Every structure is written in structure tokens, then in C-alpha cells.
A and B are shown apart, each in its own frame.
Chain A
Amino acid sequence: MYLAPPPDRGAKPSDPVPRLRETDGMTTETKKSGGDSRARGMVSAAARGLGLALVALPGAVLCFTLTLVSVALIPIGVGIVTTPWVLTGVRAFADWRRLLAAQWCGVRIPSAYRPIPEGANPWTRTFGMLGDPATWRDLRWLPVDMTAGFVTALLPAVLVLYPLEGFALAAGLWRVFTDATGGTYWYLFVPITGQVTAVVAGVLGAVLLVFAHFFTTRLLHAHFRLTRAVLAANQGELSERVRVLTETRRDAVDTSAAELRRIERDLHDGAQARLVAMGMDLGTIEMLLDKNPEQAKQLLAQARKSSADALAELRDLVRGIHPPVLAERGLGDAVRALALRLPIATEVNVELPGRAEAPVESAAYFAVSEVLTNAVKHADAERIWVDLHHADTMLRVSITDNGKGGARIGAGSGLAGVERRLGTFDGVLAVSSPAGGPTMVTMEIPCALS
């Protein structure tokens, strides 16, 4: 189950904010309809296609040639130095196309280059890059881009401009064209011989324009789909996923090891020490019972206090490991109980039809707890609102306060820890906290409720 990225979401899992925005972009996109905007779409697709074709062809040829030359020069040593530069250029070129694909047509082409270590020598860089399957995919893509890619990019422009020529012919300019060629001038499959055929060319142009009206945007889309087919790593998403999983697994192991160390220390310094003291007191009491009953009584009171203190410490420790209310009632009531303990008035709104898995509940609880602690400590807020609900296989939690804002992920804040904790469950964290407030922290964790 961990391998499947959340449905309908192409963005990288490590990239929470664009993912949230992406859905907004899609809704505005679908709102655009009607002839006027389609005409505008046709013209812009044609212009974009034309620009793209004009830049892409020389770019692809240049990249391809330079790469071939540079790789050929490796045996004599020069290539070792030039290849990393050239390949970096190729990657930039490919990344630029990825960007255009996403911006113009919403086609996402994942980029999956292996990271090259900083400050590596040219030898490692060259062979590191040449050993990367993504490099070879780029090189396979370049010839495709300068041929099929060029044609599909140019086609929208042709579809829009060619009808204009038909209109020009029909308007009487056919004379100029036939004179210039000195024979029969062909408009598509119509030989222009006089005004009548010129008008036929004009009508044909109109038909073509209608066709363009419906298909130019799709053609540009097709261009990027072609680009994706060649350029996208079929393993790209998987390897990205593997990278994220490795990272979050390491974080999870680190966090739990640190937690265990803390618990061990707390037990050692707290409850364990108190029990030792209690045992010693009891031993002394046993000795004093006959000799000095008065003092024995005093020590008994002390032993009882030690046991009460040990219990209190254990209770706090248990709350830190897994709060009892969470085990007994689940996330909603645990957060309610947590809110009741806060010194700031907190409104909790829960809409959870069931319970999530215990580890998810625990992660969400401690994330909420950390965010609330932050709000109490730093936000200077008068009120906090917590909202928990489950929709579209996502547990969504938002915490808003009317404090002074300025909260950020990182910068030593606990929010980075929250992000790491949630990362283990593919959860994401987004913070909106302009200076002056209000602060809104949103978390999303994919999970099913039972």
C-alpha cells in the first residue's frame, strides 16, 4: 500500500504546498469554456507551438551534437571535462521542457536524475552522469524532439496560419502567387487557376480554421504527451518514492530511538530511583518497628509519598508515550481532552466516522499536541480552533489561532519535527502564518477509518 502514491496527485510527496495548490489550478482550468476563450486558447497554443518549435529544433540539435562530440572526446581526456557541462545543459533543456509541459498543458513529467555529490571530480561526475539511465533517456529524446516533436509543436501554428493564406488567395492575391511560381499554385490539394479555385481555397481555409479552433490546444497537448512518453522515466515515480521512503524510514527510526532513550532516562532517574528509595525506607522501617515505632511511622509516610511520586511520574511518562484517552477513546476525544488542558480557550470540532490505525492516530495526536504547544508558547493567541475531519481517504487536521503569526517550518521550530513525524505516514504539513497572524497549520495524512 505504501508504493501507491495518492490518486490524482502527481506532485512529489515531499512537496506539500504545490500539491495543495494543484487542485485549485485544476478547478479554475475546468471553468474555462465557451467559444471566446477557446479562440484565445487556439491563438495562444499556436503562438506557443511556433515559439517552441523555433527554439526546440536548434536547441535539440545543438544539445545532441555537443553531447556526441563531448562523449567522443572522452578517450582523449577533453571529454572528461566537457561532458558534465554539456550534460548539465541537456538536463536544463529537458527541465525547461518539463516546466513548459506542466505550465501550459498540465502534463507532469517527473524528473529523476541521480544526485551528483557536491565537489566531485570531473571523472566521477562524467561517469556518474553517464551511468544514470535518465541521461540516456534524454539522449534518446533529443532526436525525437527535433523530428516528431518539432512537427507536433509546429502543427498548431500551421493550422492557424495556413487558413489565412487561403483567405488571402480568395481575396484576390491568387494572381500574385501564381505569377510568382510561374505555373500552377497548389493550396493543399486545390490547384489555383482562377478566382473560382481561389474561392474554393478560401472555403478550405475556413474549414481548416474551424478544425484548428477545436484541435490546436489538443495538438500542443499531444506534443507534450509525446515528450513525456520518451522523457519520463517509467521508473521515475518509483525511484522518487523509494528516495522518500528511505528518508522517512531513517527519520522514523531516529525518532523512535531518541524516544526510547528519553523514556529510559526518565524511568532511570524517576520511578526507578523512587522505588529504590522506597525499598530502603521499608528496610529501615522493618528495623525500627520494635526499637523506635515513632520514627518508623514517619518513614512509612515518606515511603508512601515516594510511591505516590513514582506513580505520578509514571503517569506523565505514559501520557508522553501513548496518552490513555487516545487508547480509550480515539483521536477526537484525545484532542478534546488535550484542549481542555490548555491555558487558552480552544474550540475542537471533530467529524470522524471511525478510528484510524493506532500508529496514525498517535502520530496525528502528537502532531496536534506539538502545534498546540507552539501556539500557546509563541503565538500570544486568545483563542484556538482545531478541526479534525476525514474525507477522500485523507485525515485532515487544521489548527488556527488568532495570535501574532510568524510561525515557520524549520528555524528550530517544532514544526519541522512534526513534518518529519507525519512524513513516515505520507502525511504533509502546510503552514500559513503571515506576520500579525492568524496562523493556520494544516495536516493531511492518507489513511482509512475503521
Chain B
Amino acid sequence: MRVVLAEDLFLLRDGLVRLLEAHDFEIAAAVETGPELARALAELEPDVAVVDVRLPPTHTDEGLQCALQARRDRPGLPVLVLSQHVEQLYARELLADGTGGVGYLLKDRVFDAAQFVDAVRRVAAGGTAMDPQVIQQLLSRRAADDQPLGRLTPRELEVLEQMAQGRSNAAIAGKLVVTERAIAKHTANIFAKLGLEVSDDDNRRVLAVLAYLDHGR
């Protein structure tokens, strides 16, 4: 699997390269600035991009802007965005096109190599990986009854929360200590309540997460 990596701090970039290579990823390019990233994404056609939000030369949100632009040029291009801080605002922008293949994690998550690599694989496969902190921010706000999410039961919200982090039904079942069939029932209920048509299951999961992120807007 070919990866384009953008990170301006040498130590972290070096560490990520070694970590990914150790897990059988091929590093197509490891760049440190926004323009370099834009060129690499356009020319190298990677399977997945791992991108730091803040990059030189402006040290603002160049990485995020490059990633969003690359996804506009090539819809569905899997992008995993890393940052020192997570914001719902950015999560929404990443998910807005509804095509999936999006990850948004705190840099701290790199500490747990197995989970991080799992997240990269999931994103590359078209899934989502939202940082638990994004989800936590959402939970602090009470859901209004008139919104679709207000109609979900607490258990269904719990399942949706796990789904937003990118977990499969099997993984959610393991986490909540119930059978996979029970989870499948919950997810079907969630999709129905959110008005998501039966279609490609992965896509519906992304849309459900998007609805989740949109709540309270």
C-alpha cells in the first residue's frame, strides 16, 4: 500500500516513516511543506495520504487545505489528517463530501502503533477514523428532540459513537460486550431513524457519522 506522508517535524516524520514501513506500507513520498504535498498527491496517486494539518510555509491549516483540494480533484482519495488538536469544524469539512475514506486523529494516537496502523488501513479501505475527542465534544451538547439524533435511544447513540470512530460491527460488539447481531439491529435502526437509504453499507456509515457531527449545528 503506497502512502504519501506530510509532516514538518523531522523527528515525527522519521518516526512515522519507520512505523509505517515496519507494517508493510510503501512510503511513496515523505514531504514537509504544503506545496510539496500538493504536488506529491497529484503526481504519485497514493492509496492513502497521512497529513499534518499545520505545515510550512504559512504554518496555518495548509495540510488540511491540500487534503481537501486533493479530494475535490480526486473524490474519495483516502486521507488521514493528524493534528495537535482536534476540532469538530475540521472534521465536518473533511466528511462533508460524504464519500468516506477520511480519518482525523490527534497526533497522540501514534503512540499506540497497532491502533494507528489499523486506522490508516481502515481509511485506505474507504472507512472513517474519527478521534474519540471529536466524539466527546459532541456528547457535551444535549441533543434537541426535534433533531433526528434526538430520536435515537441512548444505546443507539452509543453504537453510533463507536461507529463514528470507525469501528466495524464486530468491533463494536466486542467493545460493548453484546452479540454482533444485536449491533446489526441497532445500526439498522440508526440508519432508519436518520433516513439513510439502503445502499452501500460503508457509505451509509459515513453518512450516519456525518449526521452525528452535524447535530447541534
The residues of A that contact B85 with a CB separation of less than 8 Å are: 315, 318-319, 324-325
Pick from B61, B84, B89, B216: contact of A315, CB below 8 A: B84
Give 1 or 0 for each of B17-53: 1 = CB within 8 Å of chain A CB.
Answer: 0000000000000000000000000000000000001
Q: Are B111 and A328 in contact (CB under 8 A)?
A: no
- CB of B137 closer than 8 Å to a CB of A: yes
Q: Are B54 and A328 in contact (CB under 8 A)?
A: yes
Q: Are B60 and A341 in contact (CB under 8 A)?
A: no
- CB of A311 closer than 8 Å to a CB of B: yes
Known: A304-B111, A311-B108, A315-B84. A341 touches B144 (CB 8 A): no
Q: How far is the CB of B156 from chain A (nearest CB, A)?
A: 21
Q: Which residue of A lies closest to B147 (CB)?
A: A345
- CB of A327 closer than 8 Å to a CB of B: yes
Q: Which residue of A lies closest to B59 (CB)?
A: A327
Q: Are B140 and A328 in contact (CB under 8 A)?
A: no
Q: Are B88 and A340 in contact (CB under 8 A)?
A: yes
Known: A328-B54, A328-B60, A343-B142. A308 touches B111 (CB 8 A): yes
- CB of A377 closer than 8 Å to a CB of B: no
In chain B, residues 74-117, which have Cβ atoms closer than 8 Å to a Cβ of chain A?
Answer: 83-85, 87-89, 107-108, 111
Interface residues on chain B, number (Cβ under 8 Å)? 20
The residues of A that contact B87 with a CB separation of less than 8 Å are: 325, 337, 340
Q: Is the interface of B mostly helix, strand, loop or mixed?
A: loop
The residues of A that contact B89 with a CB separation of less than 8 Å are: 325, 333, 336-337, 340
Q: Are A340 and B108 in contact (CB under 8 A)?
A: no
- CB of B185 closer than 8 Å to a CB of A: no
Q: Which residue of A lies closest to B53 (CB)?
A: A328
The residues of A that contact B53 with a CB separation of less than 8 Å are: 328
Q: Are B60 and A329 in contact (CB under 8 A)?
A: yes
Give 1 or 0 for each of B106-137: 1 = CB within 8 Å of chain A CB.
Answer: 01100100000000000000000000000001
The residues of B that contact A329 with a CB separation of less than 8 Å are: 60-61
Q: Which residue of A lies closest to B60 (CB)?
A: A328
Most interface-central of A307, A312, A340 (chain B CB within 10 A): A340
In the bound complex, what is the Cα–Cα distance between A312 and B109 (angstroms)?
12
Report the contact-size class of chain A (Cβ under 8 Å from the partner).
20 to 34
The residues of A that contact B107 with a CB separation of less than 8 Å are: 311
- CB of A190 closer than 8 Å to a CB of B: no
Q: How far is the CB of A414 from chain B (nearest CB, A)?
A: 21
Q: Which residue of B lies closest to A324 (CB)?
A: B85
Q: How far is the CB of A152 from chain B (nearest CB, A)?
A: 62
Q: Are A307 and B137 in contact (CB under 8 A)?
A: no
In the bound complex, what is the Cα–Cα distance between A318 and B84 (angstroms)?
10
In the bound complex, what is the Cα–Cα distance between A204 and B99 (angstroms)?
90
The residues of B that contact A340 with a CB separation of less than 8 Å are: 87-89, 137, 216
In the bound complex, what is the Cα–Cα distance between A345 and B216 (angstroms)?
6
In the bound complex, what is the Cα–Cα distance between A318 and B83 (angstroms)?
13
- CB of A78 closer than 8 Å to a CB of B: no
The residues of B that contact A336 with a CB separation of less than 8 Å are: 89
Q: Is the interface of A mostly helix, strand, loop or mixed?
A: helix
In the bound complex, what is the Cα–Cα distance between A329 and B141 (angstroms)?
24
Known: A308-B111, A311-B108. A343 touches B88 (CB 8 A): no
Q: How far is the CB of A388 from chain B (nearest CB, A)?
A: 15
Q: How far is the CB of B91 from chain A (nearest CB, A)?
A: 10
In chain B, residues 167-211, which have Cβ atoms closer than 8 Å to a Cβ of chain A?
Answer: none
Q: Which residue of A lies closest to B83 (CB)?
A: A324
In the bound complex, what is the Cα–Cα distance between A327 and B84 (angstroms)?
13
In chain A, residues 343-364, which have Cβ atoms closer than 8 Å to a Cβ of chain B?
Answer: 343-345
Q: How far is the CB of A106 from chain B (nearest CB, A)?
A: 47
Q: Are B111 and A307 in contact (CB under 8 A)?
A: yes
Q: Are B61 and A328 in contact (CB under 8 A)?
A: yes
Known: A329-B61, A345-B216. A324 touches B141 (CB 8 A): no
The residues of A that contact B54 with a CB separation of less than 8 Å are: 324, 328
The residues of B that contact A324 with a CB separation of less than 8 Å are: 54, 83-85
Most interface-central of B60, B142, B144 (chain A CB within 10 A): B60
Q: How far is the CB of A401 from chain B (nearest CB, A)?
A: 15
- CB of A92 closer than 8 Å to a CB of B: no
In the bound complex, what is the Cα–Cα distance between A312 and B86 (angstroms)?
11
In chain B, residues 137-152, which have Cβ atoms closer than 8 Å to a Cβ of chain A?
Answer: 137, 140-142, 144
In the bound complex, what is the Cα–Cα distance between A324 and B61 (angstroms)?
10
Known: A318-B85, A337-B88. A327 touches B60 (CB 8 A): yes
The residues of B that contact A238 with a CB separation of less than 8 Å are: none
The residues of B that contact A311 with a CB separation of less than 8 Å are: 107-108
- CB of A289 closer than 8 Å to a CB of B: no
- CB of A342 closer than 8 Å to a CB of B: yes
In chain A, residues 292-345, which have Cβ atoms closer than 8 Å to a Cβ of chain B?
Answer: 304, 307-308, 311-312, 315, 318-319, 324-325, 327-329, 333, 336-337, 340-345
In the bound complex, what is the Cα–Cα distance between A308 and B132 (angstroms)?
14
Q: Which residue of A lies closest to B137 (CB)?
A: A341
Q: How far is the CB of B87 from chain A (nearest CB, A)?
A: 5
In the bound complex, what is the Cα–Cα distance between A307 and B107 (angstroms)?
12
Known: A328-B60, A328-B61, A329-B60. A343 touches B141 (CB 8 A): yes
In the bound complex, what is the Cα–Cα distance between A324 and B90 (angstroms)?
12
In the bound complex, what is the Cα–Cα distance between A341 and B83 (angstroms)?
17
The residues of A that contact B61 with a CB separation of less than 8 Å are: 328-329
In the bound complex, what is the Cα–Cα distance between A119 and B53 (angstroms)?
62
Q: How far is the CB of B158 from chain A (nearest CB, A)?
A: 19
The residues of B that contact A312 with a CB separation of less than 8 Å are: 108
Q: How far is the CB of A238 from chain B (nearest CB, A)?
A: 40
The residues of A that contact B142 with a CB separation of less than 8 Å are: 343
Q: Other than the known A324-B54, A336-B89, A341-B140, what 7 A-B pairs have Cβ atoms closer than 8 Å?
A: A308-B111, A315-B84, A328-B60, A329-B61, A337-B87, A340-B88, A343-B140
What 9 A-B pairs are tightest by C-beta distance, nearest first? A328-B61, A340-B88, A337-B89, A328-B60, A337-B87, A324-B85, A343-B141, A311-B108, A343-B140
Residues of A in contact with B (beta carbons under 8 Å apart): 304, 307-308, 311-312, 315, 318-319, 324-325, 327-329, 333, 336-337, 340-345
- Jot down 11 A-B pairs with beta carbons below 8 A, ordered by A: A304-B111, A311-B107, A315-B85, A324-B85, A325-B87, A328-B60, A340-B89, A340-B137, A342-B141, A343-B140, A345-B141
